[in-house]
Structure 1
Amino acid sequence: MQLSIHYTDHMVAEAGSYSPSAAKPAQVMASWAKLGLPIQVIEPSPVTLEHDAQMVSDILSCQINNGFSNRSSNVAESLPYTTGAMLSAARGALDNGYGAIAPCSGFHHAGYSFVGGFGTFNGLLRLSTGLREDRSGIRQGTRHVIPPNINSASNLPVGESE
């Protein structure tokens, strides 16, 4: 069995910070390659970011500081890809039933309208909204991810009511 790794070089950045988080994905991939692990690399697509629209715009255009307390264009360019990798891996795990990996931090210290703890955006926020969209059938251009035993109108198992 191969490990499903959701990765692209676009998610790697030199953050100009003492935190190595933005460079870790490439280091992890190199380590796994050196170990000869059976991996299948799946390239994630960039995703939109579910945060305050003005904050997103200002960070991506390097007008305000990111979670690394700078205005690095390298970090800004990587953000839709790190978030995309997390969402892609979550979808992959649901699809394959056993798991998938996005070799990036969960960047969970940021909030809807603030950066924090080396996190610029909160990947878990995007993950939750992305998976909710999938479940409700909003995701366009792909199959809907609604288990057959779930009533999509109520999100309850078929035969149960609120």
Structure 2
Amino acid sequence: MRLSNRNKAPVYNFVNTLLMMFVTAGIGAFLLNEYRFNILGVESYLFLLVPVMMLIVFHLNGRQIFEYDSDGEALNFKNRNIIPFLDKPLHDEFPKYKLIKYDVINIFFIKRLYVTISSKNSGSTMLKYEISYLTRKEVNDLQLSLNKVVKANKEKNELK
């Protein structure tokens, strides 16, 4: 199964650009109020605070683009940001038989995928992916696919 929200990258770029324009307009409105009009008092700091907080929330949600591929004998995960220099992109590929378990953590508007794989050196390794920008249906499809792999691995291990 393949899952990707790469086609939504222009929307995320637009939202990011719009938020940057709000920050710029907020700075301009704040400076105009402070040095020219002086209509608002302390409330003028909201011109700075609100757009900056919206931009911070947008980027704290994590990497926007998530790609998953379970076709063939390997699982392939890619997670990257729309702004290349902001975060290092993640790319992991490993055989399906190494998948031990996974967890999807959902806290308010932040979603994370934790994948535990078997490792020769340390026994197991946990990989973290940010899936906040996936829809509920895409998350359910991802869980369904990962459940199939985990179930197949458990059945193989029971036969041994």
TM superposition score category, shorter chain reference: under 0.3
Q: Which has the higher contact order (CA 8 A, sep 6+)?
A: 1
More strand by share: 2
Rg larger for: 2
TM-score in terms of structure 1 length: 0.28
| TM-score under structure 2 length normalisation | 0.28
The structure with the greater share of residues assigned to helix is: 2
